[in-house]
């Protein structure tokens, strides 16, 4: 008996609505132990080549409405990715102290912590005890006032720091890498840095792996730079980063969103016209977005790559109604 079922548009719509009501997230796919072919407590079998596969039929218009998208299986690459954490710091040499040149009482201070200042902009005036005239102290570089270390009326000594200014238009990202990864991760590889605060990401390149190991954490620092166009990359803030070390080619690759588990096996849904059939697959390497398929598919077959859980739920529904 065929397990193929036709379901009405309304039924699928209700299915989609009920799934989205409880989060609508696809199942977390964990490597499942391969089940013996032919075994099933309900009595139907999974033998290869058997016609009686687990399938359902969804008309194209309904599939579109439910957001079900399929794409051909293709060759691709699987990235060797490392998820690491790190810290934003100002770039060395881009922080400047604003100093009093001559000793004397501070008459005015014209900037506060957080202010953006331009190179040459006057930041303080000081009554010089030497010349008995007032002189102006200006910003040596453009940047943001990181700290203000003096009070109006206080007497500045020669070389007293008044402000610290940082050019934060670019920041270093110091990433912590551990153990054998320090041999593995080298300069020049792509890095995606993500802010913890709002999840905004930026692509950059690993510039160097610093010599030596921090004794406390036993980590090695791998350094990249990020542009700080929006000013929201803040020195001292923690970030996470994904370092892509290598890409390995694979004959067949599907997005992780294509994977579902059905009766304990990892499957994808192969579309033939309006018919969707669960196909057990043997998986290889995976990265953050995709997985290598070693067995179970052929290049060019149409596989559901979006909303695969809707197809799974539909097959499950058909199975529940099915008499054995």
Contact window for Zn ion (CB under 5 A) among 78-86, 169-177, 215-223, 277-285: 78-86
Residue least distant from Zn ion (Cβ): 80
Q: Is 251 in the site for Zn ion (CB under 5 A)?
A: no
Question: Shortest Cβ distance from residue 245 to Zn ion (Å)?
Answer: 5
Cβ partners under 8 Å of residue 106, min gap 6? 100, 124, 125, 126, 150, 151, 152, 153, 154, 155, 156, 162
> Please, what is the Cα angle at 17 between 20 and 56, to 5 degrees?
100
Nearer to Zn ion, 52 or 83 (CB): 83
Minimum CB distance to Zn ion smaller for 141 or for 245? 245
Q: How far is the CB of 258 from Zn ion (least distance, A)?
A: 24
# residues contacting Zn ion (CB under 5 A): 2
DSSP E strands, 92-197: 95-99, 104-109, 116-117, 122-127, 134-138, 143-148, 155-156, 161-166, 170-178, 190-195
For residue 135, list its beta bridge partners. Answer: 126
**Least distance to Zn ion from the beta carbon of 83, Å?**
11
By beta-carbon proximity to Zn ion, the closer residue of 114 and 179 is 179
Torsion of CA 137, 141, 147, 151, to 10 degrees: 0
Phi and psi dihedrals of 46, rounded to 5?
-115, 25
Least separation in angstroms between residue 177's CB and Zn ion is 10
Minimum distance, C-beta of residue 320 to Zn ion, in the bound complex (Å): 43
Q: Which stretch binds Zn ion (CB under 5 A): 77-85, 206-214, 221-229, 253-261?
A: 77-85
Range list of H helices, 148-194: 181-184
Interface pick for Zn ion out of 40, 80, 170, 251 (rule CB under 5 A): 80
* Nearest C-alpha neighbor of 266 from the set 288, 292, 247: 292
State the DSSP code for 313.
H
- Which of 71, 67, 10 minimizes the C-alpha distance to 305? 71
Distance separating alpha carbons of residues 94 and 146, to the nearest angstrom: 12
Q: Residue 245, interface with Zn ion (CB under 5 A)? A: yes
* Minimum CB distance to Zn ion, residue 210 (Å): 19
> Per CB under 5 A, does 189 bind Zn ion?
no
Q: Is the Cβ of residue 80 or residue 306 nearer to Zn ion in the bound state? A: 80
Candidate segments 192-200, 211-219, 223-231, 240-248, binder of Zn ion by CB under 5 A: 240-248
Residues that bind Zn ion (CB under 5 A): 80, 245
């Amino acid at each position: 008996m065929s397990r193929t079922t036709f379901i009405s548009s309304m039924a699928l719509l209700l299915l989609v609505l009920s799934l989205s009501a409880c989060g609508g997230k696809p199942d977390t796919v964990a490597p499942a132990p391969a089940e013996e072919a032919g075994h099933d407590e309900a009595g139907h079998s999974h033998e290869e080549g058997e016609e009686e596969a687990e399938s359902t039929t969804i008309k194209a218009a309904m599939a579109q409405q439910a957001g079900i998208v399929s794409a051909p299986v293709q060759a691709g690459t699987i990235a060797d990715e490392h998820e690491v954490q790190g810290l934003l710091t100002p770039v060395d040499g881009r922080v400047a102290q604003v100093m009093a040149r001559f000793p004397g009482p501070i008459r005015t201070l014209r900037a506060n912590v957080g202010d953006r200042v331009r190179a040459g902009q006057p930041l303080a005036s000081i009554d010089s005890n030497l010349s008995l005239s007032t002189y102006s102290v200006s910003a040596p570089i453009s940047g943001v006032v990181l700290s203000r270390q003096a009070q109006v009326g206080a007497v500045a000594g020669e070389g007293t720091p008044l402000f610290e200014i940082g050019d934060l238009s670019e920041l270093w990202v110091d990433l912590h890498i551990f153990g054998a990864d320090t041999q593995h991760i080298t300069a020049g590889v792509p890095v995606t840095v993500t802010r913890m605060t709002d999840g905004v990401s930026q692509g950059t390149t690993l510039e160097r792996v610093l010599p030596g190991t921090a004794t406390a954490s036993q980590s090695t620092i791998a350094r990249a730079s990020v542009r700080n166009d929006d000013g929201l990359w803040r020195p001292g803030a923690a970030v996470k980063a994904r370092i892509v070390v290598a890409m390995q080619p694979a004959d067949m690759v599907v997005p992780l969103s294509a994977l579902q588990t059905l009766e304990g096996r990892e499957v994808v849904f192969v579309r033939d016209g309006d018919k969707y059939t669960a196909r057990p697959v043997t998986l290889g390497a995976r990265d953050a977005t995709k997985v290598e398929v070693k067995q179970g598919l052929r290049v060019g077959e149409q596989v559901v790559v979006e909303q695969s859980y809707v197809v799974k739920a539909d097959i499950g529904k058909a199975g529940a109604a099915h008499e054995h």
